Structure 1
Amino acid sequence: MSGHTEAIPRTQRWRTTRWVLLALAVIIGLGAVTAYFTAPRPGGHMDPTATSPNGARALITLLREHGVEVVEAADIAAVEAAARPDTLLVVVQTYHLVDEAILDRLAALPGDRLLVEPMSRTREALAPQLKLGKGAAFGGGGHLDCALREAQLAGAVQFGGANAYEADDDIALIRCYGGTLVRFNADGRDVTVVGNSEFMTNGGLLKEGNAALAMNLAGTNPRMIWYAPQFTEGAAQGGGTLADLIPEQVVWLGLQLVVVVLLLAVWRARRVGPLVAEPLPVVVRASETVEGRGRLYRSQRARDSAAEALRAAALQRMAPRLGFGANTDAAAIVQLISNHSGVDAQIVTHTMFGPVPADDAELVALARELDNLERQVAQS
């Protein structure tokens, strides 16, 4: 009976422990899932998955909540697979969009286009009818004389520094915010170009009118392709060099600077003649140099450095006589000195590799012992 009564509490304790462990596992799992979906996701400029201030996750989420089908294209192949005449292609300029072949493939795709802060090469490939304005637009507070519905609904927008555009060909160009936002029609498609991308980022949507304009521009069609490349594709990925990214004007400026430096060097150069022997102003005897160095050792009480210098000099002078090299170990050197001088090996070891002298008297004695040892080796 006693064994049966003890088994019941153990069973109850195991059941209680099991439920506690299960509850802890559920809590840990929920915490991990929550941390995964709520933790900040880093990424590059205008990355549709990045929640950092320069990412575009907030805009993509808002567009999807308003019924826009968003295709996040990671490469040009995904863009070509998703492109359709009824689809808006958003091309966001990043440092990875540099290959001309990629730009030509983008130019051949159907549908409307929205170019966000394009560089000159991207603008020439996808919107050749435009050119940069004479100056940059700042702020962008109003939308006077702007017939673009998206801008009229958004109102004032805080762009910051931005490029301004004007027509390079004879086209009907709609200009808003001082030319920061323009639109024209070419080959039956609407091409919209905006000279700033900061208002579309996660950090820029909170400013006045920015979110409304970003959603109006990117949500004009029921379906949108977002292409903000985060890695380099095409020939620039493996065969390109840094020189390919340097503008031609910079190359010419560098060549001019090289020519200027060469001319300056020729102008400032002096003719190099033969060597001229000049007498020394003062002749210093070797004994004075040795005495001065010894006084320095003595003033600093550097008996260790002085002893090491004496022993090294003695070994250097005895090396040609004994025939040992720089890599010969101490035991072999001691044996060679002992054989040639007749001095006991222990005495040679103490003299050549012994401890540091404790005072000046021992240092002087060491110098005498080294001199005697060297003399005996020389006479052998």
Structure 2
Amino acid sequence: MTKQRLRTARWVFLALLMIALVSALGAYLTAPRPGGLMEADSTSPDGAHALVTLLRDHGVAVDVAEDLDDVIAAARPDTLILVAQTFFLLDDEGLNTLAALPGDRLLVAPSARTRERLAPSIRLDGSIQFGGQPMCELREAVSAGDVHFGLSESYRGDGDTPVTRCYDGALVRYTESGRTTTVVGSSEFMTNAGLLGQGSAALAMNLAGTHGRVIWYAPQRLEGGSAGEASLLDLAPRQIRWMVLQLCLAVVLVAWWRGRRLGPLVAEQLPVVVRASETVEGRARLYRAHRARDRAADALRTAARARLLPRLGLGHNPSPSAVTAALAQRIGRDCEAVLYGPAPGTDAELLELAHQLDDLERQVTQS
């Protein structure tokens, strides 16, 4: 009987041990891995673990280069070198080495220095807040469709080399000396958080998956000399640490001293209550005194659109064409001039605009 119990206890112990090991392994594999911008193993919002996993699931071999030596060792004429701009991609010698390596290039949000070395035929054309159609014939962009880049750099060619521009210049590509170079002005759509946007995952996969093998280079530390193994804290003088410690101690003491002087919080009653009609009238008088008919008209149109959108079944921030099309279908006439027309030139025109907006809301409500 005792042997039976020992045998049963042993199997129970082994089962519990297996459950603990599986749980520990699952927790390790699913634990978040913080990291820097576009780091291949980082699961933070600005990391790129999701994109790298998608590429590998679709048969693309992704070689993560920890430093420039790894890029040099893996570079081949049939590979794609993805260079993501980080705070540590600063060395001129390293950029010149990258420029001499074989293979196509994909530059993600490059700085001016990186762009001059690795994409010399591209010029900066400004900054845009862009999201929309590709407006080009590039296969990777056409199949992805609408993409929201967020705040992005816009590029153009230097005039000597034919350049394909997509998404108003947020994505450009050109071929020179047998090498194809692609430049995107923003990394937001390729990050873990940005892949959820419309068309972002498709465009990121299309750009990074054009070759069977991609070298992922997003440096996360300084390279060159002894600085390659040292952090920024190691490079700082020792006196800096004591200064920071003294400043922190001073801030804590000041906060404690001021906190005792202020005493407990007291709820303060507002001195007056202003009616909404008086506020509206006061703002109207200010608009009239400064002859700000354009601002007054914009305020009237913005408020009218905010009240009309729920009645028309439209979401937040629809395009003007979508609003005017819904109104035309609802009341049977074109209202673009009323909602999006030019600013009135006289007070009489401003008053007429207000009447037209009221009439438009009444027709939508009664239809």
TM-score normalized by the length of structure 1: 0.59
**Residues of 1 paired with 2:3 and 2:42: CA distance?**
51
Residue type of the alignment partner of 2:160: D
Paired position in structure 2 for 1:37: 29
CA contact (8 A) 1:56 1:200 kept: yes
CA distance in structure 2 between the aligned counterparts of 1:198 and 1:108, rounded to whole angstroms:
28
Change (3 A) 1:226 1:213: same
Deviation, structure 1 residue 168: 2.4
Report matched runs for 1:51-90 at 5 Å.
Answer: 51-90=43-82
| Letter of the 1:128 counterpart | P
Paired residues of 2:221 and 2:228 also in contact (CA < 8 A): no
Q: Which runs of 4+ in 1 moved over 6 A?
A: none
Counterpart CA distance in 1 for 2:211 and 2:121 is 23
Distance 1:206-1:236 versus aligned 2 partners, 3 A rule: farther
Question: Sequence identity, in percent?
Answer: 58
Match in the other structure for 1:148: 138
Number of residue pairs matched by the alignment:
231
How far apart in 2 are the matches of 1:209 and 1:196? 14
Instruction: Confirm or deny: 8 A CA contact 1:88 1:112 kept in the other structure.
Output: yes
1:16-63 Cα deviation digits (max 9, x unpaired): 211111111101000011111111111111111111111111111111
Distance across 2 between alignment mates of 1:61 and 1:236: 33
Distance 1:42 1:151, change over 3 A: same
1:1-380 aligned at under 5 Å gives the runs: 9-133=1-125, 135-144=126-135, 146-235=136-225, 237=227
Q: Is the 8 A contact 1:99 1:236 kept in 2?
A: no
Report the counterpart of residue 315 of structure 2 in structure 1: none
Q: Letter of the aligned partner of 2:110 in structure 1?
A: P
Unpaired segments ≥5 residues, structure 1: 1-8, 243-380
Distance 1:67 1:218 in 2: 12
Do the aligned partners of residues 208 and 126 (structure 1) sit closer, same or farther apart at CA in structure 2, a change above 3 Å counting?
Answer: same
Once residues 131 and 6 of structure 2 are traced to their aligned partners in structure 1, the CA distance between those partners, rounded to angstroms, is 69
Provide the aligned C-alpha RMSD in A: 1.8
Alpha-carbon distance between aligned partners in 2 of 1:169 and 1:77, rounded to the nearest angstrom:
34
Partners of 1:43 and 1:216 in 2: CA distance: 24
Report the Cα offset of residue 169 of structure 1: 4.3
Contact 2:39 2:47 in 1 (8 A): yes
Where in structure 2 are there 5+ consecutive unaligned residues? Answer: 233-367
- State the distance in 1 between where 2:79 and 2:228 align: 32
Question: Given residue 96 of structure 1, which amino acid in structure 2 is its aligned partner?
Answer: F
TM-score by length of 2: 0.61
Task: Provide Cα deviations, 1:124-154, integer angstroms capped at 9, x if missing partner.
Answer: 1101111210x3121221122x121110010
Which of structures 1 and 2 has the bigger CA Rg? 1
